[in-house]
Amino acid sequence: MGSARPERASSDLRAEPVALVTGASRGIGAAVARRLSADGMAVVVNSFPSEPMISLAKQVVEEIHDVGGRALVVPADVTEPAQVESMFDECESEFGSVTTLVLNAASTDRHEWTDISLREWNEILAVNLTSGFLCCRRAFRSPCDAGASVIVVSSVLAETGAPNALHYGTTKAGLLGFTRSLAREVGPAGARVNCLLPGAIQTEEERESFDSEDLDRTVLAHQVLKRRGRPEDVANVVSFLAGPDSSFLTGQTLRVDAGWTMM
């Protein structure tokens, strides 16, 4: 999001908006990457540096390439400052300065709260909260571009809480304060920061962790809209926040939850 960009062979490529999506191998992150590419952005698809996640990220990039988009897989553990630095360096070398940063990387597990070890607490904190700080610190190291957009993906659990998810809910609530504070820091330069609170979205991780029929019944009983949320539903709102139609919106929290948590 710095003002300096490396020289490219084409002025058209230099002008192309660039999105970096963390945790984009699957689920919401993958849907966001595909949508921002469809919106005309070059997209960096970040994945955790493990073979399964890299393989999934490559599939996302192939899908983007198949429809004429520009995308690149950059594996990086976004809790590690050196890897965050390298990720942005590679993005800037290939596409130019990031104009849209989507902070989607997250980790969760479920434990009775008294059984959460300090190691587990710190690991969740690092992935869900500290990684966003590291990415934004690197992105805004140079004076930011007017119109740059940071989109923070939190969760409705930031507001509602949930049993057996104390560490997860705490980090997601922390992202609300992070969003508002960062919006005040970068707003005078013309950059925007907003936060999404997805509700119960059908993802691969959900299918791996829960009984689908039982969860569907629970979710639909709480939602006003009686269908399950899809990753694309979240990606559509990210697209809005990344685009010019939201240019007067910053420091805000949008709930993408079919009315579960109307407040």
In tens, the pLDDT along 7-21 reads 444 444 556 899 999
261 inside domain? no
- CA-based radius of gyration for the chain: 18
207 inside domain? no
145 inside domain? yes
Structurally, the chain folds into a number of domains equal to: 1
Q: What is the pLDDT of the chain when averaged over all its residues?
A: 90
Quick check: 155 pLDDT over 60?
A: yes
Q: Which residues are the active-site residues?
A: 168, 172
- Specify the DSSP class assigned to residue 254: E
Report the CATH number that the domain containing residue 67 is assigned in CATH: 3.40.50.720
Model-wide pTM > 0.75: yes
Res. 204 pLDDT band, cuts 50 70 90: confident
Helix intervals (H) in the chain: 11-15, 27-38, 51-66, 81-94, 118-125, 131-139, 157-160, 166-186, 204-209, 212-222, 231-242
Q: Which domain holds residue 127?
A: 11-202+230-256
Q: Span 201-209, mean pLDDT? A: 73
Q: Within 10 A of 220 (CB to CB), how many other CB atoms are there? A: 14
Q: Span 98-127, mean pLDDT? A: 93
219 inside domain? no
Res. 108 pLDDT band, cuts 50 70 90: confident
Q: How far apart are CA 196 and CA 135, in angstroms?
A: 17
Q: Which one is predicted more confidently, 186 or 223? A: 186
211 inside domain? no
